[in-house]
Amino acid sequence: MEDTVNNTTVGRNDGLSPEARRIMTVAFSVEAVLGTICALYSLRRSFGRTPSGGISFFTSLAVADLGIALLCPVSAYASGIAKEGWPFSQDACDAYAFFAMFFGSASIWSSLMVVVEVQAKPKGHRRSITLLLAVTWLSALFWSTAPILGWGRYIPESYDAGCLYDMDVEDERSFAYFLAYPIGAFVLPLGSLVCATVYNGSGFKAALLVTVTVFSCWGLYCIEVVWILLEMNKEVVPIEIEAAAPIVAKLSPIVNALLIGRIAGLASPDSTTESRKVDKKQR
């Protein structure tokens, strides 16, 4: 196997200028530092959100965001040294994409489920939350493992600083995965959030705001998917959008640390007090 993977064999030629590469390197470097600090801060705060000491979606989100932040140095280094394609081996590409998909999927699910958890706690639905936590991480594991096992594949992205699943509409397996993943990563958790909000009859503002927060970080990837489906050609997406998508997505640890806790609090202002009463009764 060659030491590097030339991106021109699996995608289009790199059109980023040296200045754009330097901006990417700086952006990923800053996100690595701030993202790690924010994720650790969120992780520390999350332990106080479950009176019984159980793991919550706040903890789940902090762990996922920490994983995303720890990938930033790899992207920063790759964008700084890449010249013609992904500068590492295909195995390294698979490993990077696996962890990016794993932690990214878990972060999206956890962000949306934070509001569901806050709504459920006062009613004592802790077992339901535990089940949703298991579904979140098993789902992330499934979607990140599938391309390695042959459903779809991981390839270097055209800006050469990262890898992701192939969005080739002409390859049957890649196209099937390309269609299925957005449903598993976005539609299912969003649908769960909507159903829980309607069922509980509260937290509509929190549900809306947390949804906007998620799409503000991951929306460029959604634009890529829709654009490719409309044109049925993955080459139509400008390289500037492809390069901007991971930079914006890797802001999620910072955004979540600043906003998610406050947004979730809108779902049930008295949730902390009520959940403590439920915990005391259960003991």
- Tens place of pLDDT per residue across the chain (283 aa): 444 554 433 434 456 788 888 899 999 999 999 999 999 998 888 875 554 445 788 889 999 999 999 999 999 999 888 766 788 999 999 999 999 999 999 999 998 888 888 777 655 566 778 888 999 999 999 999 999 999 999 999 888 888 999 998 888 888 999 999 988 888 888 888 888 788 777 678 888 888 888 889 999 999 999 999 998 888 888 888 999 999 999 999 999 998 876 765 565 545 444 444 444 444 4
Among the listed residues 260, 225, 262, 258, the one whose alpha carbon sits nearest the alpha carbon of residue 241: 225
Beta strands in 57-110 (DSSP E): none
Per-residue pLDDT at 274: 44
Phi, psi of 152 (to 5 degrees): 80, -170
DSSP state of 49: S
pTM (whole model) above 0.75: yes
Side chain identity at 229, as an amino acid letter?
L
In angstroms, the Cα distances linking 67 to 17, 45, 276 are 29, 17, 31
* Cα 66 to Cα 41: distance, rounded to the nearest angstrom: 10
Per-residue pLDDT at 10: 41
Per-residue pLDDT at 267: 54
Per-residue pLDDT at 262: 73
Q: Characterize 223-256 residue by residue with b for buried, 16 or more Cβ atoms within 10 angstroms of its Cβ, and e for exposed.
A: ebbebbbeeeebeebebeebbbbbbbbbbbbbbb
In angstroms, the Cα distances linking 238 to 27, 45, 107, 112, 235 are 19, 39, 26, 29, 8
Per-residue pLDDT at 5: 54
Element (DSSP H or E) covering residue 256: helix 252-265
* Cα 174 to Cα 228: distance, rounded to the nearest angstrom: 13
Per-residue pLDDT at 273: 44
- Give the 3-state secondary structure of residue 237: coil
Per-residue pLDDT at 282: 43
Phi, psi of 137 (to 5 degrees): -80, -30
Among the listed residues 25, 29, 9, the one whose alpha carbon sits nearest the alpha carbon of residue 17: 25
Element (DSSP H or E) covering residue 1: none
Encoded tokens for 90: 């295909």
Degrees, nearest 5: CA angle 276-282-283: 90
Per-residue pLDDT at 99: 97
Side chain identity at 248, as an amino acid letter?
V
If 0-12 CB within 10 Å is exposed, 13-18 middle and 19+ buried, where does residue 185 land? buried
